[in-house]
Chains A and B, each alone.
Chain A
Amino acid sequence: MSGVLLEARNLSKDFPAGRKRFVHAVAGVSLQIREGETLGIVGESGCGKSTLGRIMIGLIEPSSGDVLFRGKAFAEMNGNERQACRRELQMVFQDPYASLNPRMTVRDLIAEPLETWKICSGREETTRRVLELMQAVGVPGEFLHRYPHQFSGGQRQRIGIARAIAIDPALIVCDEPTSALDVSVQNQILNLLRELQRKQHLSYLFISHDISVVRHISDRVAVMFLGKICETGPTEELFRHPRHPYTRFLLEAVPQPDPRRRTQAALLLGDPPSAIQPPSGCPFRTRCPYATDRCAGEEPRLQKTGGTETACHMTYEST
């Protein structure tokens, strides 16, 4: 088994929400990403998945807890180590319209990380490397001097990916990289990400609200609800035998592209609870049809139950 590349230990992040209140965006998350593997994070909006992704590559400081890169905590690194670590951790953003500077050409956009890290010597070598990267992500080289607005969403996302892989990172955090794209283009980007992973031995932390996308790309999946992981495990096991009630409702709610299988299943009622005043005990209990007094009083911890780990009192009893 390959080694652990990036690890979160009991991460929490609170954002001030005025009047001495706080949004508990991430509340005690621990997870590991091994080399060459894809960990998918799935959850609804406001569950803290994007905040978690940003903490994991050091864009946001956690309120408590540690992130460890190859076994060493961010907090313990000196300036040089921290700098070297940044190079290994890159990010691809959701909105390919907002994440590229509209006043820079494709050449300058992709050359920017190469120049920052002084990877190529001289302008010509840089341009040569930019062309190689464009080829790797499937953007024709003749578009070298075009601006972002001259490209479609899918091609812009390819440019964003070229920027991320330019400096040969170990891990890329992909935050909803296909959410802004049409389905046929979404598949092209997913294929590209997989191909790059094989060629360059990349690890991904893949964040998405789209369950079928996460299922396709991930080796392991963590389901988040209100800042906490409620279930995690190997992808196929988690999707075939979901144990946590929230995971089950989430999978059930995905509209299936099959008119013969129209969902009649019970729907999850209500809306996600507030992250400012989360419920006591289990965060899901206010929407959970199986909640008991115990769920309000005692917070469930992630425990191994069958093939996955779940944080639910009910699942411990049933196994």
Chain B
Amino acid sequence: MDSLSAHSEPKTKAEAANTSAQGSAEGSAPVWLAALLPAALTVGLSFALPTVAQGDTIRIAYDWVPSLGVSLSFLVDGLSLTFALLIAGIGTVILLYSGSYLAGHPRLGRFTFYLLSFMVSMLGLVLADNLITLFVFWELTTITSYLLIGFDHASAKARRSALQALLLTGAGGLALLAGLILLGLTAGSFELSAIIAQGDAVRAHELYLPILVLVLIGAFTKSAQVPFHFWLPNAMAAPTPVSAYLHSATMVKAGIYLLARMHPVLSGTDAWIWSLTLFGAVTAVWASILALRQTDLKLALAYTTVMALGTLTMFLGAEATVAVAAAVTFLIVHSLYKAALFLVIGNIDHATGTREVGQLRGLARFMPVTAIAAAAAALSMAGFPPFLGFIGKELKYEGALAIASEPLLVAGAAVLANALMVAVAGIVALRPFYGGEPATPRRPHEAPLRQWIGPAVLAALGLTFGIAPSLIADSLVQPAVSAILGRPETVKLALWHGVNLPLLLSLFTFALGLLIYAGHLRIRRRLAALGERLPLTGDTAWDRLLDGVKALAAIQTDLLQSGVLRRYLFTIFVSFALLVGASLVITGALRPPTAWPELMVKHWVVVALIVAGACMTTVAYSRLAAVCALGVVGVGVALLFVMFGAPDVAITQLLVETLVVVLVAVAMLRLPSLRPDSARPNRRRDATLAVAVGVVVSATLLAVTEAPFDRSITTYFEQTSVPEAFGRNIVNVILVDFRALDTFGEVAVVAVAAIAAFALIRGAARGGRP
């Protein structure tokens, strides 16, 4: 071992140096180029805008597994285009950013590859028109995000977080797969565009509830709804661009996309409304409270993401047009400001070496552009006019009040969550930039161009769309709302709605938010103290679950894997006897033989010979006697073959029997003699089991031979053997002509067995010891 590691260590070090040298030599040039791909996709997708704005859709389909109804089909409608544009557009910004953020990192190329793979999977997911295609891309996003979260694989925390996200969203993915298959079978098609038209039929179907529950498990795990929310903050172990991309703008929104996509099919029932509203409301409020508690800027933002996901879920539970419009608008708002803020925090981290709120103040002097972008994004987040966030928030209140079933619950949750959002926006994006001298590990400096251009553009978009909401209202929001509701809708966005209840709620929100901001230090202390006393969080519950699984695995391994050959065999034979025997009894295949045939003396003699040989083998203490008994059995079997018209088989059997005796006899020369085994008390139990297995086999074979017999294949061989294969020995013709490929495989096995045996012996002769 020692010599091994001594040899390998310098090698790995050299490799590491080599790769890092390559990495820095490559610089960020490839990443620059990589940003061109999403940029081109963004431009390409935007060509679809006019078509989609008119209410039309674009569909592209290729057959993939036609026999299973799986096709590689894509659908561009308002909903998928909105998501696709966000994914490609923000992807451009992120790739541009990460090239600078991770400049000189030895695995920058790999990182870019992961990021691009993720982006393509995500695009496939939102554009897929086939349930199975959708699921495949869904799983691909899970896998690529696993790679991205665990990118810093030297850190145990990153590995744990990545595995947690993978297991949790993967488990949800399995539930989703079951749900999608049920849905496809219920609707009679796996094409989404066809299923959407079947909404009423699906809702009336008896499988509706299982479908809904399974799909919701998939969506809720992916979109981090309480109680599955804990994986998302943990996933912040990823590099900041990943957090900005996956955990704000795209991946976690996959669940939201699924809910929106399934809205025309599954929504409108009590089960849908209540589960989405309740889970969404609880998630939104709980996450905003947790966000307030964090001192790490990134973690605080992560919890606000959970809050946003909860809000979106809550509004997608509704049927009202304005509620859905609120969801779509908030989706766009959130993606823009959240990606910008994550990138800003990345800049702060990069420039100062810390993300702790306590150490950060007065940064605006050192990084003015970043500060402006942060301020713009934060104002949009807090919902101040004239930012798009304001429109989103007004719509939310309007939508909440329009919800027929529980307007108070939704409105209350929305107000509370938004007020907390105002406070968090202040803590995260304003407080670090103003005030006295920073107490950071490094002296802060402005980020390079490529690192501030992204957040600046995203924040500017939030402002532009706020001032001129018609830019997105007709082209994106209205088609998306129509797609979610499954009917043409008209949506108008405006900054000023006049003095009404939503505006009053807004004012109340600001007041409450400022109040919370003013007292947030005290609230945080209280929350922290409370958090200490909580008996169980999702995260610790997760650990206990994993520990439980491990313990269970250990128990069952100890139980089943004894490492003793006899016990394995015993288990196998007992299972065989019980399962086959039981199925014989249950299916009624067990019938007494119809008639005992008339046998001649020669038959009885041969049968008696074989039975005697078998019995003698079992009781023989002498090796030679056992081998002889085996030979008797073999010869007896050969005689049976002769009697029943199988000369080829009989000859082969006799020859092989000869060889077996030769080989066993040769090997015996060096093997010790057999000792009686019957002294063991278990032998009686073994004998009982052996008899049971024998009886089951006999009964099965009886049932088989009593059943009607289909001789058509043999008849075919008999009739074609001479005319087509020019051979009169039908057995040989089958071997070398009709089933020549099988025979080839079989002789290959024989050759491999011989060579393996040769290697086993010769390997030992050369001094190899296992």
Do these two chains really belong together in a complex? no
Q: Which A residues have a C-beta under 8 Å from some C-beta of B?
A: none
